Amino acid sequence: MRKRSGVNTRFGLYIVLLCGSAISITGAGCSRESSAQAASPETPRSASPATPRVAFTSPNPDTSTDTGTLRDAEGSTPRKLGVLLVSHGSRSLRWREMLLGVEKGVRKDLMALDDVELVTSAFMEYTEPSIATRLEEFDQQGFTDIILVPLLLTVSGHSFDDIPTICGEGHNVVATERLRADGIRIYKPKANLHTTELLDFADILGKNVLRRVQALSENAPDEGVLLIGYGSADYDVEWTKLLDDRLGSLLKQELGVPESRHCWCGHIAHYDPVITQRAIEDILTRRKRALVVPVLVAIDEMFQEGIIQEGIDKVGDDSRIRYVPDAILPDPGLRAWVVEATAKVHRDVMGRVN
């Protein structure tokens, strides 16, 4: 997504924020995810291995005008842009409130951008407002361009299949049938769609995890870190690289932690606390203490206070375990990233028409 500065009362820019799943449309380009079971925002959907992945693409190229105002392909209708924060969705009220808090935190900065009239949020499933609902509202209000901001960690089936399909941009028949069977409405907007990058493109994730591990640490050389993510069966290699190669290596380099490993708590792990238990016990065979950190976007009781905490309880000796049931949010850095990522996409969009 891209941003603008200033407010034009005639040509409004609409900013749509997507929270919790990733997509790839135009501009910076996307591909990534994060979720949990039918009761959580971290619940991934099984993708069809045989079906090719789909990334969003921009419809018709924009043309410039002598006034510098965004216009449609015919160069006659003034454009209106919006920003939508999109997340996976969850039945957890606390989780939803944390994601909606991001919208509140960035609204002032985004509304200060030229032509921006509205900043809003949508959820992929479990609760309204859904993505389809928001897209339809944009059309009803005459918006011509929508910037999608996926609040997702990394690549997943949500970013490649589900969200593009919900937006009418995908061609995955299996994904279409699955979403409809789950009661998720598909709506292809008249407006052009543009998307920002995913969270793992920025350094916000590394800084966040580094700060949280440091807060738990007593003496780094004696400790091992366990990073717990939702996971993705189809993108296990990418998720593993994110947690082990990128975040794990950062912790070793910056804090001197001798060991960092990961485990999953979502669908790929069958939501089984024993997976967490065994990973902690493995670390404790070599280290005095295990530092447990959830690499989840927001707090969902099912995960931080349920699956992960139950796994810790099963270890038996919690005196050697350091754990806080927290999440990436709330983090001012994430709000700053939303503003920056949106502005970047907006500049690209404006560059094509000016």
Q: pLDDT (tens digit, 9 = 90+) per residue, 222-272?
A: 999 999 999 998 899 999 999 999 999 999 999 999 999 999 999 999 999
The rounded percent of the chain whose pLDDT value lies above 90 is: 51
Identify the CA nearest to 266 among candidates 95, 48, 47, 43. 43
Q: Is the confidence at residue 140, as pLDDT, over 60?
A: yes
Alpha-carbon gap, residue 319 to 150, rounded angstroms = 38
54 and 144 assigned to the same domain: yes
Is 172 within a domain? Answer: yes
Residues facing 150 on adjacent strands: 86
More confident residue, 155 or 101: 101
- Give the range of the structural domain holding residue 264, as residue numbers without chain letter: 204-323
pLDDT of 77 reads 62
Task: Identify the CATH number of the domain in which residue 236 sits.
Answer: 3.40.50
Q: Is the confidence at residue 115, as pLDDT, over 50?
A: yes
More confident residue, 89 or 218: 218
47 and 110 assigned to the same domain: yes
More confident residue, 125 or 208: 208
User: Would you call 102 helix, strand, or coil by DSSP?
Assistant: helix
Question: How many domains are contained in the chain?
Answer: 2
27 and 157 assigned to the same domain: yes
pTM comes to 0.78
Is 163 within a domain? Answer: yes
pLDDT of 309 reads 98
Q: Is the confidence at residue 292, as pLDDT, over 70?
A: yes
70 and 110 assigned to the same domain: yes
pLDDT of 230 reads 94
Is 3 within a domain? Answer: no
39 and 170 assigned to the same domain: yes
pLDDT of 6 reads 35
Is 4 within a domain? Answer: no
Type of residue found at 43: T
Is 156 within a domain? Answer: yes
Alpha-carbon gap, residue 164 to 306, rounded angstroms = 31
Which whole number is the average pLDDT over 278-302?
97
- Burial of 295-313, coded b for 16+ CB within 10 Å and e otherwise, reads bbbbbbbbbbebbbbebbe
Q: 181 falls in which pLDDT band (50, 70, 90)?
A: confident
Q: Is the confidence at residue 111, as pLDDT, over 80?
A: yes
Range in 121-130, 280-289, 291-300 with the lowest mean pLDDT:
121-130
Is 54 within a domain? Answer: yes
Residue 196 CA to its chain's centroid (Å): 10
pLDDT of 121 reads 96
pLDDT of 129 reads 92
Q: Which two tokens mark 159?
A: 């970013």
57 and 149 assigned to the same domain: yes
Q: pLDDT (tens digit, 9 = 90+) per residue, 26-84?
A: 333 333 333 333 344 444 443 333 333 333 433 333 332 233 344 444 555 677 889 99
252 and 306 assigned to the same domain: yes
190 and 289 assigned to the same domain: no
Q: Is the confidence at residue 128, as pLDDT, over 50?
A: yes
301 and 267 assigned to the same domain: yes
158 and 257 assigned to the same domain: no
41 and 164 assigned to the same domain: yes
Three-class DSSP labels, 262-329 = EEECCHHHCCCHHHHHHHHHHHHCCCCEEEEEECCCCCCCHHHHHHHHHHHHHHCCHHHEEECCCCCC
22 and 155 assigned to the same domain: yes
Q: Phi/psi at 229 (nearest 5 deg)?
A: -120, 170
Q: pLDDT (tens digit, 9 = 90+) per residue, 89-108?
A: 888 999 999 999 999 999 99
Mean pLDDT, rounded, of the chain:
79
pLDDT of 85 reads 96
More confident residue, 58 or 183: 183
Is 223 within a domain? Answer: yes
Task: Identify the CATH number of the domain in which residue 28 sits.
Answer: 3.40.50.1400
pLDDT of 298 reads 96
According to the per-residue pLDDT averaged within each range, which of 29-43, 115-129, 202-216 is highest?
Answer: 202-216
Which whole number is the average pLDDT over 122-146?
90
pLDDT of 3 reads 36
Is 1 within a domain? Answer: no
